[in-house]
Amino acid sequence: MNKEIVKLIYPQWQGGQNFNYVLGAKVMEAIVPNSEKMDEINVPVSLEKNGDKTSQIDDEAALIKQIQAAQVILEDRNPAKVITIGGDCSTSLASLDYLNGKYHGNLGVLWFDAHPDISSPEQSSHLHEMVISTLMNIGAKNVQNVLKHQFSNKQFLLSGLIEKDLRPMDSNVFKYDINFVTPQVLKEDIAPIIEWINQNNFEAVAVHLDLDVFSPQDFRSIYPAEPGLKIEDFPAAVGEMKIHQVFDILAKIEHEKPLVGMTVAEHLPWDAINLRNNFKKLELFN
């Protein structure tokens, strides 16, 4: 008998062109708790670094194949809830598309991220930077063609977004009128989130948790915390939230509406990555 929750292990790296996301997903798999309500299933991911640039999106063919593999799993299991262990941020595409269909378009998505992930193929070749736009059918066209349940702008609330550090490629936040709440506001009050849920009368809520929403002083396994990198030299926004703040918010949200999905994305456990790379220097491990 199928279980209520499917936990997808989805070590996709092509969306961010960063192979370190593979190990990051494997480590995160060990961190995220299991329960008797879950079926844990691996999404097959190509580990070949072929550098395919036949489209505007890097490695697009591999990415589409992996999205379709995740779709087959979800359609076969038909879970009420989905947990996705990524991998890059584009691992949310299959699960959120599925959940939006499951809840008949009445799904709100809390997008915890320092960045808005709403660029276009004209602004980026990395799928993980255009996940929201692709879910809204205004992003990566060939990827959109395999998705089935288009989102509207009102279904997203960018949470923890660093507004002052938005790049030109992030300007679609305003162009497409995407709601957002900064870390400073969330530190004081989560009322804007509750208001967004109630105004839209969502049946359920899903969460996209890009770990770079966290401050590198509070959580070290993210891009801006790479050893030897000065945070002030990081070329994009740096998260400001603390772990306990995000999970306290989510615990309160669960009292308002069912939490039916979560993607955990872009985990970069630098100590594990560096240790693994050094093991590879030895013939014993090759």
**Distance of alpha carbon 179 from alpha carbon 159, whole angstroms:** 9
pLDDT score of 26 more than 90 = yes
Q: What is the pLDDT of residues 118-176, one digit of tens each?
A: 999 999 999 999 999 999 999 999 999 999 999 999 999 999 999 999 999 898 999 99
Work out the pLDDT band at 51, boundaries 50, 70, 90: confident
pLDDT of residue 53: 81
Closest CA to 231 of 159, 129, 162: 162
CB 161 within 8 A of CB 182: yes
C-alpha 5: how far from chain center? 18
CB 96 within 8 A of CB 108: no
Q: What are 248's two structure tokens?
A: 């306290």
**Distance of alpha carbon 207 from alpha carbon 99, whole angstroms:** 11
Q: What are 8's two structure tokens?
A: 């997808």
Q: What is the pLDDT of residues 249-285, one digit of tens each?
A: 999 999 999 999 999 999 999 999 999 999 999 999 9
Q: 161 to each of 110, 183, 240, 263, 271, how far by Cα in Å?
A: 11, 7, 9, 17, 27
pLDDT of residue 1: 79
Is the previous residue joined to 108 through a cis bond, with omega within 30 degrees of 0? no
Q: What is the mean pLDDT of residues 21-34?
A: 97
pLDDT of residue 43: 98
- How do the domains of the chain map onto residue ranges? 5-285
pLDDT of residue 54: 81
Tell me whether residue 146 is exposed, middle or buried, using C-beta atoms within 10 angstroms of its C-beta: 0 to 12, 13 to 18, 19 or more. Answer: middle
Q: What is the pLDDT of residues 67-81, one digit of tens each?
A: 999 999 999 999 999
Q: The tokens 């660029």 sit on which residue?
A: 119
| 133 DSSP 8-state letter | H
The residue type of 110 is L
**Distance of alpha carbon 220 from alpha carbon 126, whole angstroms:** 24
> Which runs of consecutive H residues, i.e. helices, occur in the chain?
20-31, 60-77, 92-102, 131-135, 141-144, 172-175, 183-188, 191-200, 243-253, 270-279
Write the CB contacts of 53 (distance below 8 Å, at least 6 apart in sequence).
125
CATH number for the domain running over 5-285: 3.40.800.10
C-alpha 232: how far from chain center? 24
Work out the pLDDT band at 227, boundaries 50, 70, 90: very high
Beta bridge partners of 86: 10
Q: 98 to each of 76, 77, 93, 211, how far by Cα in Å?
A: 11, 11, 8, 22
Note if the pTM is more than 0.95. Answer: yes
pLDDT of residue 28: 98
Q: What are 7's two structure tokens?
A: 């936990």
Q: The tokens 């002052």 sit on which residue?
A: 164
